């Protein structure tokens, strides 16, 4: 009989492992550890893990190789990637290859806890999708419309006919945040970078959840409606609930790292 754990931490730095164990345990999660990807994969033979917090830069098998191996073994644990080499490329690649989140090192206690909470909620939603039947009254979440592109599961981008693009948060991402109470937005003319935070969504416990921008560019319009009416983000995340209108700086290159929503079906 396999043992069920909440979290597995994979990192070649003992201090990081200790810190994550300490923080997550204090939140009431059961945490197991592995010093490299090989050991982590072995542990999957004996145990089940809901969430994996995995470093990218590791000896032998790196974080991406580990992610691939999990995929090959059809292990459905959610993976949060983290690295000290926190570049845009690493963040975007993590989300493209199937990680649900990316936390750049060094991170604070809150940043880690928020990400873990979202990850746990994500797993619950995915589990409810498995048991979802068409007759059910409420669908778990609304998938991204066709012709949209998304960064991981968190943010979407849609091309506008004027050459600018609209960006916003996906319904799944909003649903992983419990009880949205506010949103912190950037201002017009500010630059956003793909894979970096472009807005913060605040929940009822004052936790700040970063929304990673799907593309880089300059903000030319901010949707003030969502500040006035926060429900708009939850009710119509793909149309009325957009965040910014951007002039993208290199959309062609960046689109390659995004997932085409046309294949997203319940």
Q: How far is the CB of 111 from another protein (least distance, A)?
A: 8
**Contact flag: residue 85 with another protein (CB under 8 A):** yes
Among 190, 205, 225, 250, binds another protein (CB under 8 A): 190
- Is the CB of 88 or the CB of 232 nearer to another protein? 88
Candidates 141, 91, 137; CA nearest to 261 is 141
Least Cβ distance, residue 166 to another protein (angstroms): 18
Restricting to residues 91-110, name those near another protein by CB under 8 A.
104-110
The backbone torsions φ and ψ at residue 117, rounded to the nearest 5 degrees and listed phi first, read: -60, -45
Displacement of CA 263 from its chain's centroid (Å): 19
Query: Is 203 a binder of another protein (CB under 8 A)?
Result: no
Give the number of other CB atoms < 10 A from CB of residue 55. 23
CB of 192 to another protein, least distance (A): 9
Rank residues 25 and 260 by Cβ distance to another protein and give the closer one. 25
62 touches another protein by CB under 8 A: no
Query: Could you give the CA distance from residue 105 to residue 19 in angstroms, rounded to a whole number?
Result: 12
The structure tokens listed for 101 are 């989140």
For residue 240, give Cα distances in angstroms to 1, 37, 146, 187: 49, 43, 16, 19
The residues, ordered by sequence, that sit 6+ positions from 147 with a Cβ below 8 Å of its Cβ are 158, 159, 261, 262
Q: Does the footprint of another protein cover residue 25 (CB under 8 A)?
A: no
Which residues contact residue 228 at a Cβ distance below 8 angstroms, ignoring those fewer than 6 apart?
none
- Contact status, residue 80 vs residue 101, Cβ threshold 8 Å: yes
In the window 135-174, what residues touch another protein (CB under 8 A)? Answer: none
Q: Does 87 bind another protein (CB under 8 A)?
A: yes
**Residue pair 257/93 in contact by the 8 Å Cβ criterion:** yes
Considering the complex, state which of residue 7 and residue 70 has its C-beta at the smaller distance from another protein.
7
Site membership for another protein, residue 19 (CB under 8 A): yes
Task: Tell me, by CB under 8 A, how many residues bind another protein.
Answer: 28
Length of the chain: 266
Residue 261 CB, shortest distance to another protein, in Å, is 27
Among 64-72, 73-81, 147-155, 186-194, the segment contacting another protein (CB under 8 A): 186-194
Which of 100, 103, 118 lies closest to 19 in space, CA to CA? 103
**Minimum CB separation from another protein for residue 86, in Å?**
7
The bridge status of strand 180-185 relative to strand 197-203 is antiparallel
Output the smallest distance, CB 185 to another protein, in A: 13
Please give the structure tokens belonging to residue 164: 């600018």
Query: C-beta of 186: minimal distance to another protein in Å?
Result: 10
Residue 83 interacts with another protein (CB under 8 A): yes or no: yes
In the bound complex, what is the minimum distance in angstroms from residue 216's beta carbon to another protein?
8
Given the rule CB under 8 A, which residues bind another protein? 13, 15-16, 18-20, 22-23, 26, 57, 83-88, 104-110, 112, 189-191, 193
């Amino acid at each position: 009989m396999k043992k069920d754990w909440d979290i597995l931490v994979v990192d070649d730095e003992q201090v990081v492992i200790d810190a994550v164990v300490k923080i997550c345990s204090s939140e009431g999660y059961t945490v197991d550890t592995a010093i490299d990807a090989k050991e982590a994969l072995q542990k999957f033979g004996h145990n089940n893990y809901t969430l994996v917090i995995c470093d990218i830069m590791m000896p032998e098998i790196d974080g991406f190789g580990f992610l691939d191996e999990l995929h090959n073994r059809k292990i459905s644990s959610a993976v949060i990637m983290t690295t000290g080499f926190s570049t845009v490329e690493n963040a975007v690649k993590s989300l493209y290859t199937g990680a649900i989140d990316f936390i750049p090192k060094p991170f604070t206690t809150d940043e880690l806890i928020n990400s873990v909470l979202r990850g746990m909620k994500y797993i619950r939603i995915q589990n409810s999708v498995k048991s979802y039947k068409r007759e059910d009254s409420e669908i778990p979440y609304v998938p991204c419309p066709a012709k949209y592109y998304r960064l991981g599961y968190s943010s979407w981008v849609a091309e506008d006919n004027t050459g600018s693009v609209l960006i916003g948060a996906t319904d799944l991402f909003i649903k992983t945040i419990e009880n949205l109470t506010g949103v912190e937005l950037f201002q017009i003319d500010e630059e956003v970078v793909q894979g970096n935070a472009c807005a913060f969504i605040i929940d009822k416990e004052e936790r700040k959840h970063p929304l990673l921008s799907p593309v880089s560019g300059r903000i030319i319009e901010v949707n003030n409606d969502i500040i006035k009416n926060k429900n708009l983000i939850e009710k119509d995340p793909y149309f009325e609930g957009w965040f910014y209108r951007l002039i993208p700086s290199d959309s062609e290159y960046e689109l390659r790292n995004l997932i085409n929503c046309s294949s997203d079906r319940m």
